[in-house]
Chain A
Amino acid sequence: MSSSMTTGVSSRKADPRGSGTGVEDAPLLQVRDLHVEFRTRDGVARAVNGVDYSVRAGETIAILGESGSGKSVTAQAVMGILDSPPGFVTGGEILFKGRDLLKLGQDERRKIRGSQLAMIFQDALSSLNPVHSVGYQLGEMFRVHRDASRKEAKARAVELMDRVRIPAAKERVNDYPHQFSGGMRQRIMIAMALALEPDLIIADEPTTALDVTVQAQVMELLAELQAEYNMGLILITHDLGVVADVADKIAVMYAGRIVETAPVHELYARPAHPYTRGLLDSIPRLDQKGQELYAIKGLPPNLLRIPKGCAFNPRCPRAQEICRQEVPKLFQVTEDDGTELAGRGSACFFWKETLHDA
């Protein structure tokens, strides 16, 4: 599974933005066969069951999935901020610049967090400490990682606020989080993540809590800064609209597994997994006015009792006997004549048929 994925995604980028050139260089982050489980009183919930993906410098990978598909848990495992107990990484590797993060000590991981690997959270208001001014919190990055003085830290904080285009940064540096609007707060979160120019940023639903108009501004800012610093970006989202413009490739997750990977535009045009197909079909469109809105029938599986075989089989319109027996691996998707489609994989026994339907 991992081999098909890592070799498959290496060759092309859908978008020239970012590094563009580094085709053959080693990936910045490589997650291999990651397993995470939560040991709860009701049993073991297998939240992540063998996830593989890789991110290169300057590249944006979107991880798409419903709530509970394991996308945020994967990110937390990479950051090393999984709540443990009850969460445990039970297998796999997280290679960051060639080093396995899971084998590092707490202290080493802490030093990497923030300086080389940073995260942007969904709800900026609750992610900012209400008792400290935003300037203090931005400056904290320099104080923790760079031993900067108070004055220096504040000066850098103003600089950062300017960089994420917060107006009147100098006057607002001493303001508290509740005095900013939602969009401005998310800019501050972005500024915090960017403060030490990390190599990789994980954005966990960065625009979910924002208005549609502000969403676009924030995504634009993020994309622009990413290109400027040539960072890798992992964008976790359930919003297909947000993904379309920013991401280079997409990994769709379901029940703790990656069920489909593809360059972004190919995924929209020709999904090779029935679940992706279902997601795309359930976007409301006005040209279908009067008809019933499509919804994938059933509910996402309970992680305590993931169905046997393909986890999607109870909801899948294409399910056959084999789907109830065997777990499909991530197949390399090819054209009819057998030419491999770069970066495309589908964990469906019937990917060919699904691809044709599209």
Chain B
Amino acid sequence: MPDQEKYNAADPLAEAGTEELEMPSAVENRTFDLGTMEAQSLIKPERLQDHPEAPAADERVEARSLWQDAWRDLRRNPIFIISGLLIVFLIVMAVWPGLFASTDPLKCDLSKSQQGVSSGHPFGYDNQGCDVYARTVYGARASITVGVCATAGAALVGTVMGGLAGFFGGWFDSVVSRIADIFFGIPILLGGLVFLSVVPSQSIWIVVAFIVVLGWPQIARISRGSVITVKQQDYVTAAEALGAGSSRLMVRHILPNAVAPIIVVATIALGTYIALEATLSFLGVGLKPPTVSWGIDISSASDSFRNAPHMLLYPAGALSITVLAFIMLGDAVRDALDPKLR
């Protein structure tokens, strides 16, 4: 108890409470201010003049949007630069394979079957006596085409379906989500073996269509979730309260804010779709000869791997590098677009 009293006596607030006259003047002034606050006008005349926080012209930071910010981040990211250069190189190779290989990949000489490196043929020959270097270069076209087109298709279908489901909700959402679940439930390789072996496919577009059909639910889930999150943001309500209609809300306000995770997932999916095409071709249900594909080459080389490993290593190496490049790009894009990871 004596301790308590001592404490009380030392406490300036307790003292101030009982002996107001002895308070230091500064505290007194403050007390006066606060005490009369209620009766005072909230807006004092001297506040009518604004004191603008005018930024000095030379200090101004340039305005940057999320995308400009992300781009600035990407340019500084070595992973992005490496994967970007690789991808540019691969795309050039896919579009103009003639720039890199002068030999025709379909012009084969059985007498040279499984032969090793010779002058002008740096990767040697395969089972049929075709030039492995030329086939590796020309194989990029099928892989990149399937990867890019399948990703674009799946992203488009997935974003639209998932976005509409998330925006409208209710029964439409339920229907779309269940349909997506059904496709999601089909194992993609098993589905490929079943469907593609039934279709007498020659064209790469069948493979693209198949990947789109089984791939869109993944994107749809992401975009649905992302749209639902964005839809609840105050700025969407604010835009609605100021008279924006449904289509404007979706396109101008929700989509730009919801698209970042979709881009990230799509970029990573691109790499996996390329690998998927190779896998399907390896299994004999994807692309078929005479289309030149790394998967077909890997498949035909696997039997004689011990005798002639070069036939397998070059197309497999090219495939690995391509998939790696796209997955690295996806990672870099995710880092740039997800501010939480910064």
Q: How far is the CB of A302 from chain B (nearest CB, A)?
A: 24
The residues of B that contact A112 with a CB separation of less than 8 Å are 243
Interface residue ranges of A260-291 to B (CB < 8 Å): 283, 285-287, 289-290
The residues of A that contact B47 with a CB separation of less than 8 Å are 216-217, 220
Q: B307 near A: Cβ within 8 Å? A: no
Q: B76 near A: Cβ within 8 Å? A: no
Q: Check B243 against A113 for contact (C-beta < 8 Å).
A: yes
Q: A179 near B: Cβ within 8 Å? A: yes
Q: Check A113 against B242 for contact (C-beta < 8 Å).
A: yes
Q: Check B242 against A216 for contact (C-beta < 8 Å).
A: no
With known contacts A113-B240, A114-B241, A140-B244, A171–B60 Cβ distance under 8 A? yes
- Across the interface, name the chain B residue whose C-beta is closest to A223: B43
Q: Check A176 against B238 for contact (C-beta < 8 Å).
A: no
With known contacts A168-B55, A174-B63, A245-B41, A217–B50 Cβ distance under 8 A? yes
Q: Check B235 against A141 for contact (C-beta < 8 Å).
A: no
Q: B61 near A: Cβ within 8 Å? A: yes
Q: Check A179 against B244 for contact (C-beta < 8 Å).
A: no
The residues of A that contact B257 with a CB separation of less than 8 Å are 129-131
The residues of B that contact A255 with a CB separation of less than 8 Å are none
Which of these binds chain B: A119-127, A311-319, A322-330?
A119-127
Q: B245 near A: Cβ within 8 Å? A: yes
The residues of B that contact A145 with a CB separation of less than 8 Å are 243
Which of these binds chain A: B31-39, B179-187, B287-295?
B31-39
The residues of A that contact B22 with a CB separation of less than 8 Å are none
The residues of B that contact A216 with a CB separation of less than 8 Å are 42-44, 47
- Give the CA-CA distance A17 to B248 in the complex, in Å: 38
- Give the CA-CA distance A241 to B39 in the complex, in Å: 10
The residues of A that contact B243 with a CB separation of less than 8 Å are 110-115, 141, 144-145
- Give the CA-CA distance A165 to B64 in the complex, in Å: 23
With known contacts A113-B241, A219-B42, A286-B35, A126–B235 Cβ distance under 8 A? yes
With known contacts A127-B235, A219-B42, A81–B64 Cβ distance under 8 A? no
- Give the CA-CA distance A181 to B31 in the complex, in Å: 30
The residues of B that contact A215 with a CB separation of less than 8 Å are 42
Q: How far is the CB of A145 from chain B (nearest CB, A)?
A: 6
- Give the CA-CA distance A287 to B17 in the complex, in Å: 10
Q: Which of A129, A131, A184, A220 contacts B239 (CB 8 A)?
A: A129
- B contacts with A, residue count (CB < 8 A): 46
The residues of B that contact A36 with a CB separation of less than 8 Å are none
Interface string of A82-99 (1 = CB under 8 A from B): 000000000000000000
Q: A175 near B: Cβ within 8 Å? A: yes
Q: Check A244 against B53 for contact (C-beta < 8 Å).
A: no
Q: A79 near B: Cβ within 8 Å? A: yes
The residues of B that contact A111 with a CB separation of less than 8 Å are 243
- Give the CA-CA distance A238 to B293 in the complex, in Å: 69
Q: Check B43 against A81 for contact (C-beta < 8 Å).
A: no
- Give the CA-CA distance A167 to B49 in the complex, in Å: 13
Interface string of B64-87 (1 = CB under 8 A from A): 111100000000000000000000
- Across the interface, name the chain B residue whose C-beta is closest to A143: B248
Q: Check A245 against B42 for contact (C-beta < 8 Å).
A: yes
- Give the CA-CA distance A62 to B50 in the complex, in Å: 25
- Give the CA-CA distance A217 to B61 in the complex, in Å: 26
The residues of B that contact A258 with a CB separation of less than 8 Å are none
The residues of A that contact B60 with a CB separation of less than 8 Å are 171
Interface string of A210-223 (1 = CB under 8 A from B): 00000111011001
Q: Which of B16, B20, B54, B235 contacts A129 (CB 8 A)?
A: B235
Q: Check A290 against B17 for contact (C-beta < 8 Å).
A: yes
Q: Check A286 against B31 for contact (C-beta < 8 Å).
A: yes
Q: How far is the CB of B58 from chain A (nearest CB, A)?
A: 12
Give 3 closest A-B pairs by Cβ, nearest first.
A114-B243, A167-B52, A290-B17
Beyond A81-B240, A127-B235, 13 additional contacts (C-beta under 8 Å) are A107-B245, A114-B241, A115-B243, A129-B256, A129-B257, A140-B248, A144-B243, A167-B53, A193-B242, A220-B47, A241-B37, A241-B42, A290-B18
28 contacts between A and B (CB under 8 A): A81-B241, A110-B244, A111-B243, A113-B241, A114-B241, A127-B234, A127-B237, A129-B257, A130-B66, A132-B65, A132-B252, A132-B256, A133-B63, A140-B244, A141-B243, A144-B244, A167-B53, A184-B53, A216-B42, A216-B43, A216-B47, A241-B38, A244-B38, A245-B43, A286-B31, A286-B35, A287-B35, A289-B16
